[in-house]
Structure 1
Amino acid sequence: MATKTVRYTFRLRASARAEAALMREYSLCRAVWNHMVAESRNRHQHRRAFKQSGLSTRYVDQRGMLRDCFEFGYNEASRWLTMLRHALVDEAGRQWLAEGSAVAQQQMVRAFASARRKALMDIKKRVPVSRRRGLPRFKSRRTSFPSLNYSKDGFRLAESDGRTRLRLAGGIVLSVVWSRQLPSLPRSVRVYQDSLGHWYACFVVLLELDAEPGPPSAALGIDWGVATTATTVHVDTSTGQKDFSDSYDLAHPQFGKAAAAELARAQKRMARRRGSKGQPKSKGYVRARREAARVYKRVANRRRDTGHKWARRVVAAHSKIAVEDFRPRFLAKTSMARKSSDAGIALLKGILIWHASVAGVDLQLVDPRYTTTDCANCDARTKHHLPLGQRTYTCESCGVSRPRDKNSAAVMVVRAGFIPGGAEDVRPGVAAVPTRQSEPEIS
């Protein structure tokens, strides 16, 4: 049976003592991160000085491997952490860093090494600066949100008073709001705090993919849009019959528009209470900022909830899904930027792909080029691009007339190869090969 690594997130109820312990643990992990950043920059400066002096920084180790004496990868960072836990002492001679969990600090080192490796890889590959991942920077106490990672040796789920609680290394006990059951024992957990001060636990578990897809002859084409977020066409692949009804369409929920007035009030309060630059923020400003964050999060939760419900319904009824694959970021450069961002197309697309992979549904990402100018009935292509104001597609060859987005959704199914011969058995199958070479059309 196939398996897949998934994450389950639950709300945590942390007492005042537990929250203080978590903040203490994170402060120690943040100190480890900042020491790693300082050491990495220090070694970089030494390497630059050596190269300017004409000296080589390479050497051959005991195993005959060529290495850099200023290398600071995961192994070197782990040894540096061991040294720090013994070397950092306070005025009383107490090893204050060693009082924290070694598991959480080791995971912080792993995250630092991973971030540094990705940034150096982007520099080596000459990725444009606008898309390049930056090197790790210092974490500030005021601007960074607490986040702790624990491997399976640093936590356990224990029964206490008839409830299953999360016990972390260091004797930290947290109550979990179990909204659903875990499919298997977690392999790791991430405990973090959001901008509202709420604590969450994200468990990494191994999920067995035992769900069965929908009917084998049921296929669905999905075209992303702005007026209607997802326009769909149901196709019976055995007969080629298309259903252009709105059964699986997803209307634009406009959650952001509904919360715009409340968000504007919160942002105005933030602007009035911001104070002078460089001065500490007042309590009123912090309250206004938290209120704005609460509005943002409520909108995000509604979008995510709507997306999961729609994706589950679509995946349960189809065994093949053809999805338009285009960059929603492209719409951010148009006059429809606000409405397209409110639709959350990228989020919906990711949720649909995840549900399809879990359910074993054949999902194909289709190249969106010319999907608005091709006919789903005869494969003819119009000689001109359709303006956005023209919402009805009329084929110049066969005379078929249907809504523009519905026609595009039907083209997705044909291009994905679910109907190899096309509707009239006159068109060869076209592979759905996603491309990023040109800007997609808006449909």
Structure 2
Amino acid sequence: MQRTIRLQLKPSDQEALALSQTIERYTWSFNAVCKYGWDSNLTNGVELHKATYYEHRLETSLPSQLVCAARVKAAEALKSAASLRKKGKIVGCPASNHCPIRYDARSCTVWFDRQELTILALGGRIKLSFEVAQYYRQYLTWKNTSADLMRDRKGRWWLHIVMETDTPKVEPTNQVVGVDLGIATPAVDSNGNKYGSDHWKKVEDRTFELRRRLQSKGTKSAKRHLKKISGKQKRFRKDCDHVLSKCLVQSVESGATLVFEDLTNIRGRAKMRKAQRRRLHAWSFAQFQAFVTYKAERKGVNIEFVDPRYTSQKCNQCGHIERGNRPTQADFRCKKCGFECHADYNASMNIRDDFLKLWAAVNQPIVSADNPG
């Protein structure tokens, strides 16, 4: 189980200059390895090391550990690009303008008790002090495994430290809850609970209208405002996803199972009207499910996924599937048996039942002529 804590560093002007030069040369090494691997169709880390290490040491004057770290990061980026290309995606050579420096235990040492650290840079190690936010103090007893140094757009320096501990072992229970994620209603579970707020939708609508007006102007001032809004909108969505995922995980007991639809490639599969497509493309479901997964891990809640086909069109009572079962976005009315309920609640029950059927099929005993029992 891993968590990332963010420490803001406040180096002096001379130290900031050294860090800036280090990250510039580290970025150059990362991009050069990526270009070599891309042109040579090579993703193997050992072969990339043999082909680039000595040249990059001479070119950048970086410590050997940072040259190796840049090569490892480049190899990961190349493998990711190759994997996407095999799936038919259009990808180009990986590149970065400001590649965060990855540190390990040999190149970065942190003392949380006295709030000091040393990190490797051009010319040797730099000693810096920091303060730990109150929320992060719960993770200080965990083991720190790696760290990434980065500089944001405002020129502030941050060290993101990955903390690790053993995942708690919790016995699974019989509680299974299906969760239907939606655009109008963020989430509805099979217990009939609704999650989210109408305020979120209103904020998104106001932001959309403001962006449209600014884009139509096209002035420099409007573009600066659009850039500012973009960051604000991302932070707002992230906060909403944190609130929603926390509520969902807290709604069940340890050992329970939360079941979601597998929404991979949903944007390419879904057929919607123009107004709905805008909300679909703004929907951060992947980020939300990632938040649910890591929050559930700590509590011992299992996360499962099922095929999303027909969960919204199938009647949970009689199993009849028909698009006409949903006369409106919010209502479900079965054409066969007349069952009526909220459409998202019906879908969440189907998600739960689909998982239970799948689980029963996988875990049923094998019956043969020689061993009928």
- Structure 1 residues 316 and 251 mapped into 2: Cα distance closer, same or farther (>3 Å)? farther
Q: Give the one of 11, 20, 23 matched to 2:20.
A: 23
Q: Counterpart of 1:207 in structure 2: which amino acid?
A: T
- How many Å apart are 1:113 and its aligned residue? 1.9
What is the DSSP-based 3-state SS (H/G/I as helix, E as strand, rest coil) of the residue aligned with 2:309? coil
- How many Å apart are 1:227 and its aligned residue? 1.3
- How many Å apart are 1:289 and its aligned residue? 6.6
- Structure 1 residues 392 and 261 mapped into 2: Cα distance closer, same or farther (>3 Å)? closer
Deviations 1:248-304 (A, max 9, x none): 5334523433444665677678x322xxxxxxxxxx799657534442343244234
- How many Å apart are 1:191 and its aligned residue? 1.7
Q: Counterpart of 2:25 in structure 1: which amino acid?
A: L
Which moves more between the two structures, 361-370 or 314-323?
Answer: 314-323
The match for 1:111 is: 73
| Correspondence 1:309 to 2:267 | no
- How many Å apart are 1:373 and its aligned residue? 2.9
| Correspondence 1:206 to 2:164 | yes
- Structure 1 residues 431 and 390 mapped into 2: Cα distance closer, same or farther (>3 Å)? farther
The match for 2:304 is: 364
TM-score of the two chains, using structure 1 as the length reference = 0.67
Deviations 1:89-118 (A, max 9, x none): xxxxxxxx22x3332221111111222244
Equivalent residue runs for 1:311-350 within 5 Å: 311-316=248-253, 319-327=256-264, 328-329=266-267, 330-331=269-270, 334-335=273-274, 336-350=276-290
- How many Å apart are 1:150 and its aligned residue? 0.7
How many angstroms apart in 2 are the aligned matches of 1:198 and 1:263? 27
The match for 1:65 is: none
- Does the CA contact (< 8 Å) of 1:157 and 1:167 recur in 2? yes
- How many Å apart are 1:86 and its aligned residue? 5.2
The match for 1:417 is: 356
The match for 1:180 is: 136
Equivalent residue runs for 1:113-192 within 5 Å: 113-120=75-82, 125=86, 127-128=87-88, 131-137=89-95, 139=96, 144-158=97-111, 163-170=114-121, 171-172=125-126, 173=128, 175-178=130-133, 179-181=135-137, 182=139, 183-192=141-150
How many angstroms apart in 1 are the aligned matches of 2:279 and 2:166? 38
Q: Give the one of 227, 250, 255 matched to 2:196.
A: 250
What is the DSSP-based 3-state SS (H/G/I as helix, E as strand, rest coil) of the residue aligned with 2:130? strand
Give structure 1 stretches of 5+ with no counterpart.
45-70, 89-96, 235-243, 274-283, 421-428, 433-443
- Does the CA contact (< 8 Å) of 2:43 and 2:78 recur in 1? no
How many angstroms apart in 2 are the aligned matches of 1:339 and 1:286? 23
Deviations 1:34-80 (A, max 9, x none): 43345446757xxxxxxxxxxxxxxxxxxxxxxxxxx6732233234
What is the DSSP-based 3-state SS (H/G/I as helix, E as strand, rest coil) of the residue aligned with 1:321? strand
Give structure 2 stretches of 5+ with no counterpart.
364-373
Q: How many residues align?
A: 350
How many angstroms apart in 2 are the aligned matches of 1:103 and 1:132? 33
What is the DSSP-based 3-state SS (H/G/I as helix, E as strand, rest coil) of the residue aligned with 1:347? helix
Higher helix fraction: Structure 1 or Structure 2? 2
- Does the CA contact (< 8 Å) of 2:177 and 2:257 recur in 1? yes
Q: Counterpart of 2:10 in structure 1: which amino acid?
A: A
How many angstroms apart in 2 are the aligned matches of 1:373 and 1:431? 25
TM-score of the two chains, using structure 2 as the length reference = 0.78
Q: If you compute each CA radius of gyration, which structure gives the higher value, 1 or 2?
A: 1
The match for 1:193 is: 151
- Does the CA contact (< 8 Å) of 2:56 and 2:67 recur in 1? no
Q: State the identity as a percent.
A: 16
- Does the CA contact (< 8 Å) of 2:44 and 2:75 recur in 1? yes
